[in-house]
Structure 1
Amino acid sequence: MTTKILVLNPNPNELDKVLEKANVQNSKNGPFEATILVGDVIPKDKDLPTTQLKQSTYFGQGYNGISDKIVESEFGLVDIQNELIYVKPPFSVIKLISGTTMLILSGPLTRESINEISKIKVNIDLLFTYKWPKAIAELETISQVSDELVDLVVQQIKPKYHFAVGTENGVFLELEPFKWSNNEFTRFISLGQEGSGGKWFYAFNLIKDEDIEELKFIENPFTMKKRKLTDDSKQAITKKPKVVSPSECFFCVGNPKTETHLIVSVGKHSYLTVAKGPLTRSNQDLSFSGHGIIIPIQHISNITEEHEDIRQEINKFQSTIYQSFVKQKPFLSLIFFEINRFNNIHHNIQFLPIHESQLKKFQNSLNLKAKINNEKFKRNQSLEFKEFDNEDDPELLKFKNLDYIKFTIYSKNGVKIYITKLFKDKSFDLQFPRRVLCHLLNLPDRLKWENCQQPKYKEMSDCEEFKKFYKDYEFT
């Protein structure tokens, strides 16, 4: 008997809509023997859904608690309504009609739960957890999605499929299967939350034992030796940053360690500063480095539609900075670049001046570095840049609520924008924008800002020179 399963990571604010989609999928591509909802399905303060389901649907407690509308029961499974079944903490083992066995963890995982799981005598086909195993998180260099206790569960039961979400918004990842020493195998899939941009649903047939030999396996993340990274592999891997509070954030003006001698101008929502470790340096054409940063005052990781006031002020900084160059250094263009993504520590937009004569080489440098990224570093985000020459282009505006890398060029020929979407399930090279500009300017030795730091007196001089340069367009 073929077992068909549907797994969804719903947005709790749109749960009824997601359940309606599940019914449609069950009619079109089912019937599914079971649907499993992962992540924070009905957290605290949320109402119960009203959609009548057409298939058995299970869910557990996420990391944001469970709705007080759910009436507790002495049993491990609670019928919320017809076909909607809540798995009480800490877990339940569910055997389907086909014989397929599921282990659904509910709520925070504890060592006491692991001791109980170790007593399970049946083989587990499907495992559902909130967090990733640390072994896989380290493989993908995403630290905050993991819990070491999940590793113990996976190593104990060796499920055929392991589903997780990692964070409240979810992170999509699908690994090739890996084998254990007894020839059992596990396939790991993490889902993004519906509406997050990452894949949030997964429908599949369980692999039959006779089909195992046809699979392509990767090295087991739980048993692989930790290899020392080469310089190239270090370049290719992006580590997601730890959570940093405003009092610790380098870009937050409330941090007592903020280097205020770098600040050029402070607006209502953002401020302008010279870059520490600038890519470009002062020269006969410009009395300061010209490499600057525009930074939101609010401690935010990325800018979306809800931050429209911040974006408008940043745009004003960009246009007035360029106007000051047009007036005083008309032979220089400006390139602004930013990485807008949900897990930045603190969003920022950097810029630097380049000669008009160098501008024609930009697209070649961008294409070359994107090609190297896509072909040499397979674990990296694949970068496919789109080009726009109108900031109000409807296609460009679709990127507003997405994660992206963006270059904006201001020159005598107008504005040119190059942008690529970033997916939340893939790592990428955080140095990519600076890598492109180092190639463009033939400054390979200035890739790392740490190696380009200047004495404090030089930083103060650059800041004062920038203030003089910008004073006629200062709007704050």
Structure 2
Amino acid sequence: MAQKPLRILACGDVEGKFDVLFNRVRAIQKKSGNFDLLLCVGNFFGSTPDAEWEEYKTGGKKAPIQTCVLGANNQETMKYFQDDGCELAENITYLGRKGVFTGSSGLQIVYLSGTESLHEPVPGYSFSPKDVSSLRTTLCSTSHFKGVDILLTSPWPKYVGTFGNPSGDVDTKKCGSALVSSLATDLKPRYHFAALEKTYYERLPYRNHIVLQENAQHATRFIALANAGNPEKKKYLYAFSIVPMKLMDAAELVKQPPDVTENPYRKLGQEASVGKPIPAPAEESACQFFFDLSEKQGRKRSSTGRDNRSPHPKQPRKPPPPPGPCWFCLASPEVEKHLVVNIGTHCYLALAKGGLAEDHVLILPIGHYQSVVELSAEVVEEVEKYKATLRRFFRSRGKRCILFERNYRSHHLQLQIAQPGTAYFYVELDTGEKLFHRIKKSFPLQFGREVLASEAILNIPDKSDWRQCQSSKEEEETLARRFRKAFEPFDFTLDE
């Protein structure tokens, strides 16, 4: 029997407007049915007179739902939180300065009260790097830790808007806490709620794993809520249903929403965990999904093949030597050099042996690399340059091109993507679409050729096996000369 989801409400800064909040909750429950829990982030108490609170504290009024709140964010409201975690009034519970609240349902809620402080002694309404570190250690030290259901903080996490939808008037590079960003990175909450900025912002969900390099994990939804009863009528209550992750099917848990983005805090955790200033993450290119293989480095190369960036350029990472004879390493005696049609600094073009067409070419690194994910940045840059140039070249001739790589039972890269050592098949269309298949068992070695040679595409099924359609060396030399001449106007190695 499927687990019944819990129905939860989250609220932003209440600021002492208890009647406004609880009357609204009653109206919602009357219309939509009862909820299991109300979670309040930001300032629960405000600068308003205590008369309204006294009615709840003495039992004259009662919250209509079990309500959990965070602690003080300023000196003025510290007086309401005398103990670290306690019942403030009937149905209203102060969770404490930091910790984990696990309900009978198994729902795990992590809370961190206060605002960030990097200086000792830390005020009672703030949290320090030590607080965040201890919370992280408590939760993440076990080998089976996968994340938490909900994270409650008052401040926004810094940089939360990176890769995401616009956050309105809030500059997420300046606003919020880097320590909260670090905590969210490590805890991987399914939902993260914050407040204090008096606005509503529901960020697009983001990934908690690196695509193709790590196993899929659940996504995180960050929601910032406005203050209760605000005159602009910005959203301050958020309703959602959730099944505790410990009760969910693993495959269902890691399903990715269609609008999921990259993690905005990637590479931030280490600096924040020790309280150091954090540099803003670089905005990555649209193809970041494929490990920034299309990220432009802005490098120029002279006709001598040297880097013009500085008189003492950083030496590129050297490729490992091939384990044995390789047909594709340019310095190898096994290479049929008459098929080479263009040579760059790090890569070269060669006609395919037994090609599907007269201008069927391979992009190959000069050094020995098994797959694209093992390439150095310099080689990646040139691979991308060749890809873009070839697309322009074929487009000028009224043709289209498809790029594919098989990293399976191959010793030398012949084009593209995944974590090092992973077997895969990758296709890149000239429309920008990218197709990736991870190979787990056996896989047809000629799959790419067979698909392209099929009747549905090129209609040359007799060429599905390159060994059955090889040309003589003289014919290959003629085809190579013809391609070199046609490609010359597009040859970027002559221009730089």
Q: In terms of Rg, which structure is larger?
A: 2
* Structure that is richer in strand per residue: 1
Q: Give the TM-score normalised by the residue count of structure 2.
A: 0.41
